[in-house]
Amino acid sequence: MSDVQYQTAMALFGQGRQAEGAQLLGQAVQAGHVPSMTLLGHQRLSGNGAPLDTIGGIRLIAAAADKGDGWACTTMAVLLAAGISGKSDWRRAIDYLRRGAERGFPMAQVQLRLLAGRGGDDWKGLQRGIDMKAWREPPKPVALSREPRVRIYEGFVSPAVCDWIVAHARDSLRPAQVYDKANGTAVSRARTNSVVELTLHDADLMAQAVRERLSAAVGLPVRNMEAPQVLHYAVGQQFVPHVDFFDPALPSEAIEMGVGGQRVATALLYLNDEGLEGGETDFPRLGIKYRGRKGDALVFFNVDAAGQPDRRTLHAGLPPSAGEKWLLSQWFRDRGAPGFGDPKILAALNGR
Give pLDDT, residue 187. Answer: 47
* Torsion angle (degrees, nearest 10) of CA 72, 73, 79, 83: 160
Higher pLDDT among residues 186 and 12, named by residue = 12
pLDDT at 140 over 90: yes
User: What does the pLDDT average to over 302-325?
Assistant: 97
pLDDT at 10 over 50: yes
Q: Compute CA distances 115 → 90, 95, 135, 269, 284, whole Å.
A: 12, 13, 9, 17, 37
Higher pLDDT among residues 206 and 190, named by residue = 206
The 10s digit of each residue's pLDDT in 68-122 is: 999 999 999 999 998 877 788 999 999 999 999 999 999 999 999 999 999 999 9
Helix axes 2-14, 34-46, angle to 10 degrees: 30
Nearest to 297 by CA among 221, 211, 225, 205: 211
Confidence of residue 126 (pLDDT cuts 50, 70, 90): very high
Domains 2-130 and 142-333 agree in fold: no
* DSSP element (H, E) containing 63: helix 54-66
Give pLDDT, residue 180. Answer: 56
CATH 2.30.42.10 fits 142-333, yes or no: no
Percent of the residues in the chain that have a pLDDT greater than 90, as a whole number:
79
Percent of the residues in the chain that have a pLDDT greater than 70, as a whole number:
93
Is the Cα torsion angle 69, 71, 72, 73 positive or negative in sign? positive
- The topology (CATH level 3) of 2-130 is 1.25.40
Q: Compute CA distances 34 → 7, 63, 262, whole Å.
A: 13, 8, 42
Confidence (pTM): 0.91
pLDDT at 53 over 50: yes
Q: What rounded mean pLDDT belongs to the chain?
A: 92
Domain ranges of the chain: 2-130, 142-333
Give pLDDT, residue 188. Answer: 61
The 10s digit of each residue's pLDDT in 194-203 is: 999 998 777 7
Confidence of residue 148 (pLDDT cuts 50, 70, 90): very high
